[in-house]
Amino acid sequence: MTLVIENISKKIQDKQVLKNVSFELNKGEIVGLIGRNGAGKTTLFGTISGELIPDFGRIGLDNFDYLKTTKLHDQLFYVNMTENWLTYYSPLKIKDILKIAYRNFDEEWYDSEIKRFGLNNNKRIRTYSKGMRALFMIIASFASRAQYVLLDEPLDGLDVLIRDQVKQLIVTQVTNQQTTVLIASHNLVELNTLVDRILLIKNKTIDRTFTVEDNKNVKKYQLAFIGEELPEFLRDSGTIIAQTGHVVTIVFNDFTEDIGIKLAGQEFKFVEELPTSSEDVFRASFAEEAAIWQQELEAQV
Amino acid sequence: MKQALTLYTRIKRKQMFLALILGILLMLLQLGSSFWQDKLPESIYSGVALTAGWLLLGFVSLLNDQSRRLDTWLYTQRISRGQLFLTRVLLLVVVPIIIGLMVNVAVVLCVHPMDLWKPLENIIEVCIGFYFFASISALIYTVIGPSWMKVAGIIFTLFMAVTPMTYIESKLNNIWWLDFTSTFILATVLFAFSYSLSKKISADTVDEAVRIKAFRWPVVLFVFLSSYLMILSNNFSTLNIKVVIGSLIIPLIASGITFTFVFKPTFKITWDR
């Protein structure tokens, strides 16, 4: 069972937000979706789920056009984490509604998780704290037993202990139920420990798909240069993450043999390769924008 | 369709019950005042009060659906946009009108068992009037985005519809069935049109004055033409070139305001070179 997103384009108020977005979600995988603020992550979720009508493209599920085949719509769960109608109801009332909406709704699991996390069954969700609301949305998502669950910034506002439990809950559900989860998040450190692969949305489309381990082109180095000035090629080919005196931490978006040879040259006191994370890939992907900001900041100073 | 009806009824159970209660209260008020003032014939309109209360609260709860983003969630459900539209028409328009009609018939049977036809004719006329206004409201609810604009749009359109409707009714008054039938058909066509438009509504247009791009200019033109024709028709007896030009002022202002909301033009005023 694969959800296929094909060439989805969407304009909002005459502004292009998504352009030819294509990717696939396979059974039982957790996929991260990252991108800058306003990159179109929420629009993409809204379009996949059917809230928004795409201007162009198709979403396929089991050889069906998902958006046109309403009988399949309980195979996918998505609610906007912060703004949704569920917050006006109590978990008890929501259970009544979701039981009708989702054919495979797991009432027993829903009740047990509500109890486990100590959520008040009779109070409206909007009276909960931000973290508790997010937690409830995740419980409701998985209790639907939808094959595909879309979570938009699910770990926002959760304290460390609950965050760990939520992550555990997501992993357990994916393992036990073979649910496919697409998670949008700015917390790349958290994503690293959770996802199988990451989709990076840039310039209104999926710019790259990567796993942290397989991303061999992106390399991160810590090095100390000898002269007064930072060697020019570093600025041209990488993104400087940190600089303290002559010690620089840099990420190369597209590491080539030529850069390797230059790093081995006389200009450096020491050069050490560091493990890369998705945050590094993210920085490297937006190297040009980061460089422009850096120049603007330097100009202001 | 069954899924749409079940799901929507379950979600809106409380509001629908409240709407029914309000309708019944209004109905009892009408009945009570008719008996109190010894105007028994007026009690036949108690079902009309029931329908009016129900329809009004139904519309308020529809606006609530939008502000609470229930509409948005329902678009992701095992129901199509068209089925959602039909469900709402059925539960929030057809059911209140039919129940009100049934109450009316029951009261007529009690009050005028010998002379059924004339009161029934009046009641059917009122019910078809409700149906017609509901069809205009449904079209405006579908096409217009923000809630306050929907309300303003309905009030404006109903206000504008009064003059031509009265005129048409006066022409058709002698042939009552033609009046009923034409109003009923027109309302059903409006519902059908709204149904086809509802399938094209995307949740991202909720803040736009006109949710369907192709309708932007027609809405501005409608505001201009309807207000211009209404002003002209009110001054029909004193029509001259001065009146024709003078009558343009209000329509131009009204359509100008509508244009601003619909197209959101941005004028940049700057002294910088």
Residue A296, H or E segment: helix A287-300
Among B172, B204, B236, identify where a domain stops.
B204
Residue A105, pLDDT score = 92
Q: Are B200 and B217 found together in one domain?
A: no
Residue B56, H or E segment: helix B46-67
Taking residues A90-115, what's their average pLDDT?
Answer: 91
CATH class of A219-300: alpha beta
Residue B12, pLDDT score = 85
- The vertex-B86 CA angle with B82 and B89, nearest 5°, equals 140
Which residue's structure tokens are 């009037």?
B129
Q: Are B46 and B136 found together in one domain?
A: yes
Residue A299, pLDDT score = 67
**Distance of alpha carbon A167 from alpha carbon A93, whole angstroms:** 26
Q: Are B27 and B74 found together in one domain?
A: yes
Digitized pLDDT (tens) for each residue of chain B, 273 residues in all: 888 889 898 888 888 888 778 777 877 777 777 777 766 666 666 777 778 888 888 888 888 888 888 888 898 999 999 999 999 999 888 988 888 888 877 777 777 666 777 777 778 888 888 888 899 899 999 999 888 988 988 888 888 876 666 666 666 666 666 667 888 888 899 999 999 999 988 888 888 888 888 898 999 998 888 888 888 777 777 777 777 787 788 889 888 988 888 887 766 556 654
Q: Are B129 and B151 found together in one domain?
A: yes
Q: What is the pLDDT of residues A112-151, one digit of tens each?
A: 989 988 888 888 988 888 888 888 889 999 999 999 999 9
Q: Are B11 and B106 found together in one domain?
A: yes
CB of B70 within 8 Å of a chain A CB? The answer is yes
Q: Are B117 and B251 found together in one domain?
A: no
Taking residues A149-164, what's their average pLDDT?
Answer: 83
Total H helices, total E strands in chain B: 11, 0
CB of B2 within 8 Å of a chain A CB? The answer is no
- The vertex-B199 CA angle with A180 and B187, nearest 5°, equals 150
d(CA B85, nearest CA chain A) in Å? 15
Q: Give me the DSSP letters along A196-238.
A: SEEEEEETTEEEEEE-TTT-TT-EEEEEEE-SSSPPHHHHHHE
B196 lies in which domain range? 2-204
Q: How many domains does chain B have?
A: 2
d(CA A72, nearest CA chain B) in Å? 7
DSSP 3-state assignment of B264?
coil
Which range among A149-163, A241-255, B58-72 has the greatest average pLDDT? Answer: B58-72
CATH class of A2-210: alpha beta
Q: Are B241 and B190 found together in one domain?
A: no
Taking residues A184-209, what's their average pLDDT?
Answer: 82
Could B204 and A52 be called an inter-chain contact, meaning their C-beta atoms sit closer than 8 Å? yes
Q: With beta carbons less than 8 A apart as the criterion, state whether B96 and B54 touch.
A: yes
Which residue's structure tokens are 């129940």?
B99
CB of B263 within 8 Å of a chain A CB? The answer is no
Could A43 and B204 be called an inter-chain contact, meaning their C-beta atoms sit closer than 8 Å? yes
What is chain A's mean pLDDT, rounded? Answer: 84
Q: What is the pLDDT of residues A206-235, one digit of tens each?
A: 887 877 666 667 788 888 888 778 888 887
For A77, nearest residue in chain B (alpha carbons): B76
Q: Are B190 and B223 found together in one domain?
A: no
Boundaries of every domain in chain A:
2-210, 219-300
Q: Are B29 and B121 found together in one domain?
A: yes
For A52, nearest residue in chain B (alpha carbons): B202
| A111: pLDDT strictly greater than 60 | yes
Residue B270, pLDDT score = 61
Instruction: Write the CB contacts of B93 (distance below 8 Å, at least 6 apart in sequence).
Output: B55, B58, B130, B131, B134, B138
Q: Which two tokens stand for residue B241?
A: 């070139």
CB of B6 within 8 Å of a chain A CB? The answer is yes
Q: Are B140 and B107 found together in one domain?
A: yes
Q: Which two tokens stand for residue B226?
A: 């309807």
- Does ipTM top 0.95? no
Q: Are B60 and B131 found together in one domain?
A: yes
Amino acid type, B51: T
Least confident of A69-73, A102-106, A292-296, B191-195: A292-296
CB atoms under 10 Å from CB of B180, counted, come to: 17
Among B204, B231, B259, identify where a domain stops.
B204
Residue B169, pLDDT score = 66
Q: Are B157 and B247 found together in one domain?
A: no
